[in-house]
Structure 1
C-alpha cells in the first residue's frame, strides 16, 4: 500500500460524510427550516461532532448548500447547451430546467436566498454561463439589449415572479403543465422585454432534445 493511501482514504471518507450531511440537511430543512445541526446529524447517521467539524455553524452549512445549488445551476446550463444550441432553444430549455429545480429545491432556495434579491447568490461560473447565453441571443438578433448582466438579472427576476404565481393564475393559461406554463410565460416575457418589440420565436419549435 502506498504511503499516501491512508490520507486519500480519509479524504474520501470525509467527502462521503459531507455529502450525507448535505443530503440530510436538504431533507430536514425542507420539513423544518429551523432544524438544528444536531437533528441534521441524526438524519445523516453521523456523529454530531462530525457535523460541527465539517460545518462550524448553521451559516456555514447554508453556504455549502448554496454551493450545491450552484452546481445544479451549472448542470442546467450544460443540459441546455447554452454555448452551442440555438440560443432561443437554449433559453427555453434552461427556463424549464430552472422551474424543475425550483420545484425540487424550493425550501433550500428560500433558506439560502439573499434578503435583498430573494434569490440564491450565483457563483462566477453560473454568472458566466448566463452572460454567454444572453450575449448569444443578442448576436443572433433575438434581443436588442446589450448589457448581459442586466439581461440575466431581469431573466432571473421574471423566473422568480413566475414561480410565485398560484397554479390557477390566468397568466399561466390552461394548455401546458405547471412547469411548461411557467416556462412559456417566462420565455415570452423575457424576449418581449429584451427584444425591442420583436415577437418571440415559438419556443417549442426550436427546443433541444
Structure 2
C-alpha cells in the first residue's frame, strides 16, 4: 500500500493486518460490490474498529485497494523482465503475470481511479515497457516487419481483457489461458497457408 511521504513506515504486523483486510475486501467486494465495512472486517477476521483505524471510510478502503492492485499490476509486469528477457519469454510471462493480477484483483482493478497521478504514472510506465517489448518482438522476427505496433498492442490488451473474464482456478488453467492469448496474438485465428 502506498503511503504519503510524511507517513512513518508501518510495522510488520500492521502491514500483515492491512494486507489481510485488503485481500478480504477484494473477495467480499467481488462477490458483493455493496458490501459493508462490517462484512469486510468479518471476512478479514478483524474487528470493524481495526478496519476503521487503518481506513477512515469505505471509500478510503476502496481507494487503498485500488492502489494496492495498481502496485501488484506494476510488479507483475516488472517481474517478467520485458526489457531484458528473451522477447517470447517476456511476452508469455507478462501475460501470465498480468492475468494473475487481473483475475485475482478484479474488483480493485475495476475500481482504479484513472485520474489519480500515481495510477497514471504506473500505467504510463507499463505502456512504455509494453511498447519496448513489442519493438523487441518485431526485431526478433516474432512479428512481421511491417506490423503496426500500436495496433498490435491494442489487440493484445483486448485479448488480456477478454481472457481475464475467464478467471482460471488453477495455475495450469492460467498457463493455458496465457498460452492461448500469446498464440492468438502471434499466430492469429486463421488456418495456416498451404504451400
Q: One fold, TM greater than 0.5?
A: yes
Q: Quick one: distance in 2 between partners of 1:162 and 1:24?
A: 24
- Deviation of 1:89 after TM superposition, in Å, equals 1.6
8 A Cα contact 1:138 1:145, kept in partner: no
**Cα distance change, pair 59–124 in 1 and its aligned pair in 2 (3 A):** farther
For residue 39 of structure 2, what is the aligned residue in structure 1?
A: 39
8 A Cα contact 1:87 1:133, kept in partner: yes
For residue 146 of structure 1, what is the aligned residue in structure 2?
A: 149
| 2:184 paired with 1:189 | yes
For residue 112 of structure 1, what is the aligned residue in structure 2?
A: 111
Higher alpha-carbon Rg: 1
For residue 156 of structure 1, what is the aligned residue in structure 2?
A: 157
Q: Quick one: distance in 2 between partners of 1:11 and 1:188?
A: 43
- Deviation of 1:123 after TM superposition, in Å, equals 3.2
- Deviation of 1:52 after TM superposition, in Å, equals 3.7
Unmatched 5+ stretches in structure 2? 1-6, 114-118
- Deviation of 1:166 after TM superposition, in Å, equals 9.8
Q: After superposition, give the CA deviation of every residue in 1:157-206 in whole Å (9 maximum; x if it has no partner).
A: 11122344699xxxxxxxxx53233223211222246xxx9x8xxxxxxx
Backbone CA RMSD of aligned residues: 3.7
**Aligned positions, number:** 172
For residue 67 of structure 2, what is the aligned residue in structure 1?
A: 67
- Deviation of 1:91 after TM superposition, in Å, equals 0.5
8 A Cα contact 1:82 1:90, kept in partner: yes
Q: TM-score when scaled to structure 1?
A: 0.62
Residue pairs, 1:6-45, within 5 angstroms: 11-12=10-11, 15-45=15-45
Unmatched 5+ stretches in structure 1? 1-6, 115-119, 168-176, 200-209
